[in-house]
Structure 1
Amino acid sequence: MPAITADTLTLPRLPELPETATDWRGVTKVVKAQKFLEGEGFQVRRPFPGVDLSDADPFLLLDQMGAVEYGPGEAKGAPWHPHRGFETVTYMIDGAMQHTDSIGGGGLITDGSTQWMTAGAGILHNEMPPPELIAKGGLFHGVQLWVNLPRSMKMTQPRYQDIEARDARLLSSDDGGALVRVIAGELDGHKGPGSTYTPITYLHATLSAGARLAMPWPEDFTAMVYVLSGRGTVGAERRPLDEGHLAVFGRGEALTMQAADTQPGNSPSWEILVLGGKPINEPVARYGPFVMNTRQEILDAFDDYQAGRLGTIPAIHRTSSDEELT
């Protein structure tokens, strides 16, 4: 799992938070990710939706794609499809994915980089494995996060952010045993590169066996930890959390987690996502690729899509199978 690596001893360190002097957040629930097929038939593990949306607010969906070792000709993607009313954040850990959209954004997303697409008023895009991965096969592992937009921003102009691996803000735990990559938001005054409409913090942390990671966390943010691989415990109560499981935290001012002293053979470290944000607290109407506030707005989105008002596939990317989308 290369993503972004660094010598933790040379990085800025998070502050030491004494166990007895901090209002630690407790764990309110743990859920196991369910498996689904997406796009052309690739498998994802999805921990939410699966918890109440109020627990995940302002997030809507989290999909772990892989880790999988594709053979030649096996790699699959998600052909052209529409979105409206939210943002998709695709973080590639291993391998590569090619993104193209109807406003001219896109590019090759590779190890440790992030593609941030604000669908807003509407956009068409696709996410496909590059020709080299299709031809030769290889390791593929990524995560897609859907971030909701408040009512006032649902119809904002679409935009695209290309966040290179080198752009992520790198930090270390107080003892140097954990590497923290800040993809978006802020952690202890250290800002990540992602520009967000909705206040969030999105981290990828690698903890060595036995290492502890503690961090201050905004009181008005939700908080969750999802395990990509390995095992550990979360919360002051040391709730076990293994690969493919998501922990939801209650209220408090700080988060604590610790990698198990021994890790499974396929994961020398505990790889986790730490994420949360300021709840939007608005009604959510969702159907397929659209997330709005009311059922009528969903119907309007379908009408606009069918009328071509969400954009068109650029001619250079169009194939015969895409004609029905234009």
Structure 2
Amino acid sequence: MPAVTVEDLTVLERVKTPGLGDVPRPVRAISTAPQGYEGEGFPVRRAFAGLDLRDLDPFIMMDQMGEVEYAPGEPKGTAWHPHRGFETVTYIMDGTFDHQDSHGGGGTITNGDTQWMTAGSGLLHIEAPPEWMVTKGGLFHGIQLWVNLPREAKMSTPKYQDIRSGEVQLLTSPDAGALVRVIAGTVDGHAGPGATHTPMTLVHASLEPGARLDLPWDVDFNALVYVLNGQGRVGTDACPLRTGQAAALGAGDYLTIAADSTQESRSPRLDVIVVGGRPIREPLAWAGPFVMNSKAEVMEAYQSFQRGDFGQIPG
């Protein structure tokens, strides 16, 4: 899992240790992601399936794409498809993905890069491996997070952010046993490069065997921890959590993640996605690629797409 890293974590700034009176976050619920296929047939785990939508707000869902080693000719993506009313955040840890949309956004992301697409009022979008990867095959691993937009931003102008791995804010734990990559939002006053409509924080953390991370977290945000690979424990009750499982945490000033001292051979460390945001607390109507506030708005989105209002597929 190359995602951006450094050889010597001791050169990084440390996140602060919890202060006297700081409250740790307990675990509210744990779920295990079901596995399936998306797009043209790439394997995914639906990371937050089974968790209450009230614990997810302002997020809709998150898919772990892969981890998969493709043979030549096997890499797959998606066909052109529409979106309205939310943002997609695609973070690639291994492999390469090409992106293009009908609003002029797009590019290639690889090993630690992020594509942040604000669908807003609507666009057409495609994601696919480059032709050379289809020919050669190779390792592919990433996530895609869907972030809801508040009512006043749902019809905003579409926007694209191309976040390179070198822009990600890197921090470490006080004992330098964990690498913290801040992609968006802030951790302990250190800001990541992603600009968000909905106040939120997105982190990818890697913990060495036996390491512990006490991660300061905005008290106004919810908190979700998803294990990409490895095994460890989370929360005040040290609840076990392994690959493909997610934990929704309760209120508090910080969250605790600890890696088991022994990891499986193919996962030498514990890798987690930690995400949280300020709940929007608005009615939610979600159908396929449209996330709106009412059924009538979803129907209008379908009609708008059929009229061609989302733009044309580029030549």
**What TM-score results when the alignment is normalised by the length of structure 2?**
0.98
**In 2, Cα distance between equivalents of 1:22 and 1:52:** 26
Query: Matches of 2:132 and 2:67 in 1, distance apart?
Result: 18
Q: Name the aligned partner's letter for residue 82 of structure 1.
A: P
Report SS of the residue matched to 1:23. coil
2:247 partner SS: strand
Residue equivalent to 2:94: 94
Distance in 1 between the 2:181 and 2:252 partners? 22
Task: Report the equivalent of 2:307.
Answer: 307
Spell out, residue by residue over 1:200-255, the C-alpha distance to the aligned partner (whole angstroms, 9 max, x if none): 00000000000000022111110010000000000121100000000110111111
For 1:17, the aligned partner's letter is P
SS where residue 47 of structure 2 aligns? strand
In structure 2, what is the equivalent of residue 321 of structure 1? none
- Distance in 1, Cα, partners of 2:118 & 2:32: 28
The total of aligned residue pairs comes to 314
Alignment-derived partner of residue 318 in structure 1:
none
Q: Which amino acid aligns with 2:206?
A: T
Deviation at 1:47, TM superposition (A): 2.1
One-letter code of the match for 1:39?
G
Secondary structure of the corresponding residue to residue 45 of structure 1: strand
Residue 43 of structure 1 aligns with which residue?
43
What SS is found at the alignment partner of 2:300? helix
Q: Secondary structure at the match of 1:155?
A: coil
Q: 1:17 is matched with which residue? A: 18
Runs of 4+ in 1 over 4 A off after TM superposition: none
Between the aligned partners of 1:50 and 1:240, the Cα distance in structure 2 is 17
Task: Tell me the CA shift for residue 50 of structure 1.
Answer: 2.5
Q: Name the SS for the 1:51 alignment partner.
A: coil
1:298 matched to 2:291:
no
- Look up the SS of the partner of 1:48 in the other structure: coil
How many angstroms apart in 2 are the aligned matches of 1:192 and 1:299?
36
Residue by residue over 1:252-294, the C-alpha shift from the partner in whole angstroms, topping out at 9 and shown as x without a partner, is: 1111111000001111000000110000000100100000000
Q: Deviations over 1:66-120 (max 9, x none)?
A: 0100000001101100000000000000000000110111111100000000000
Deviations 1:138-190 (A, max 9, x none): 00001000000000000000000000000100000111000000000010000
Task: Say if 1:183 and 1:203, in contact at 8 Å, map to a contact too.
Answer: yes
Residues in 2 aligned to 1:16 and 1:218: alpha-carbon distance in whole angstroms: 15
Residue pairs, 1:179-218, within 5 angstroms: 179-218=179-218
Once residues 118 and 42 of structure 1 are traced to their aligned partners in structure 2, the CA distance between those partners, rounded to angstroms, is 23
In structure 1, the partner of 2:236 is 236
Residues 259-270 of structure 1 correspond to what in structure 2 (within 5 A)? 259-270=259-270
Instruction: Show the 5 A alignment for 1:122-137.
Output: 122-137=122-137
Checking the alignment, whether the CA contact within 8 Å between 1:115 and 1:160 is kept in structure 2 is: yes
What is the identity, as a one-letter code, of the residue corresponding to 1:131? Answer: E
Aligned partners of 1:221 and 1:279 also within 8 Å: yes
**The residue matched to 1:135 in structure 2 has which SS?**
helix
Structure 2: state its 5+ residue gaps: none
DSSP 3-state at the match of 2:305: helix
Instruction: Specify the SS of the correspondent of 2:79.
Output: strand
* Contact 1:227-1:243 within 8 A present in 2 as well: yes
C-alpha separation in 2, matches of 1:48 and 1:239:
17
Shift of 1:310: 0.9
Contact 2:31/2:49 (<8 A) preserved = no
1:72 aligned partner, one-letter code: P
Report what 1:78 is aligned to.
78
Secondary structure of 1:79's match?
Answer: coil
> What is the alpha-carbon distance in structure 1 between the residues aligned to residue 25 and residue 264 of structure 2?
27
Shift of 1:21: 4.3
d(CA) in 2 for partners of 1:208 and 1:272?
A: 12
Distance 1:257 1:51 in 2: 19
Select between 20-29 and 190-199 the one with higher mean Cα deviation.
20-29
Q: How far 1:17 moved relative to its partner?
A: 2.0
User: 1:29 and 1:276 mapped to 2: Cα distance?
Assistant: 15
**TM superposition shift of 1:36:** 2.1
Give the letter for the 1:37 counterpart. Y
Q: Hey, what's the Cα distance between the residues in 2 that align with 1:177 and 1:91?
A: 23
Checking the alignment, whether the CA contact within 8 Å between 1:60 and 1:147 is kept in structure 2 is yes
Tell me the equivalent position of 2:62. Answer: 62
Give the structure 2 partner of residue 8 of structure 1: 9
The correspondence of residues 145-160 of structure 1 with structure 2, limited to 5 A, is: 145-160=145-160
Percent identity of paired positions between Structure 1 and Structure 2? 55
Write the distance in 2 (CA, Å) between the matches of 1:217 and 1:107.
32
**2-side partners of 1:226 and 1:117: how far apart?**
22
TM-score normalised by structure 1 residue count:
0.95
* 1:112 paired residue number: 112
SS in 2 for 1:291: strand
Partner of 1:248: 248
